[in-house]
Amino acid sequence: MHSVHHRTATVDGHEIFYREAGPADAPAIILLHGFPTSSFMFRELIPLLAADYHVIAPDHLGFGHSAAPLAGEFAYTFDALAELTSGLLDHLGLDRYALYVQDYGAPIGWRLALQHPERITALVTQNGNGYEDGFVESFWTDVWAYGANPGPDTEPAVRAALSIDAIRWQYVHGVPDPSLVSPDTWQHDFALVSREGNDEVQLALFRDYQNNRPLYPLLHEFLRTSEVPVLAVWGRNDEIFGPAGARAFARDAKDAEVHLINGGHFLLESHLDVVAGYLRGFLGRVLG
């Protein structure tokens, strides 16, 4: 078992928490978490990678152990979160790295790749969307309505996503054996999004999510022109980002490797060894 360090760095005046493991001179892989969790979602994956890779897993601002200024004190957008992540990687002196993205980590990672395409050695998407194909309409209709017209008529439907029942659903839906998923996961996330004022942080990002969609054609062009290696390992029962979103990467990424697993949105909680096996095999081939 390899040691995992828990550190913070000041980026643009904000304290950003990150987990770090592995040799500093090994190929780097950056793990970017989704909603409503944090780098906590990678707690068991990191030691499985640390023997061969320099692993960095930050908490986005407003999540986990990073600073969480109120929405009135910081303009929470995916552009802003990507800039802070880029600043952290610059602070750490990382100018070549693979990206592992899940959920919110995907639009943050796509911005990093488009800003500095020369830095990206590989892309791994685990239920991290990059195509219109991936949106499951039954989930996203309320988000689009809120983004288009935020107010008392549209807010209650998205605010419900902050409830413990909704967070638990994200973890257990589509999992054939829900007993494999620790209740610590949704209890941990619920406690953090329930901090005073954090609801407005999350609502700001719900409103901004629609601004990720125009990035998709740019991402697809990057995949075609860079020929960066891509692994899509996806819970095929995900009712947020459906399996069509995983298959779509094969349209633009040369020789994209796509694996659909009998699991849900947070695949690492039920199929850690399966994901880690595909990930280590892929990284070993493309990074040497």
Query: Crossing angle, helix 105-115 and helix 78-91, to 10 degrees?
Result: 60
Whether pTM > 0.75 for this model: the answer is yes
Listed residue (95, 81, 92) closest to 33, CA to CA: 81
Out of 33, 60, 265, 271, the active site residue is 265
Q: What is the pLDDT of residue 264?
A: 98
Task: Kindly provide the b/e burial profile for residues 269-282, where b requires at least 16 CB atoms within 10 angstroms of the residue's own CB.
Answer: bbbeebbbebbeeb
Which phi-psi region, left, alpha or beta, contains residue 22 (left: φ > 0; alpha: ψ -120 to 50)? left
| Residue bearing tokens 């830095």 | 119
Q: What is the pLDDT of residue 1?
A: 67
Q: Residue length, the chain?
A: 288
Residue 213, class by beta-carbon neighbours within 10 Å (0-12 exposed, 13-18 middle, 19+ buried)? middle
Residues of the chain with pLDDT under 70: 1
* Residue partners of 196: CB distance under 8 A and separation at least 6: none
Residue 186: CB atoms within 10 A of its CB come to: 23
Would you state the structure tokens that stand for residue 198, as one six-digit string?
Answer: 């954090």
Let me know if 265 is a catalytic residue.
yes
Residues linked to residue 7 through DSSP beta bridges, in sequence order: 18
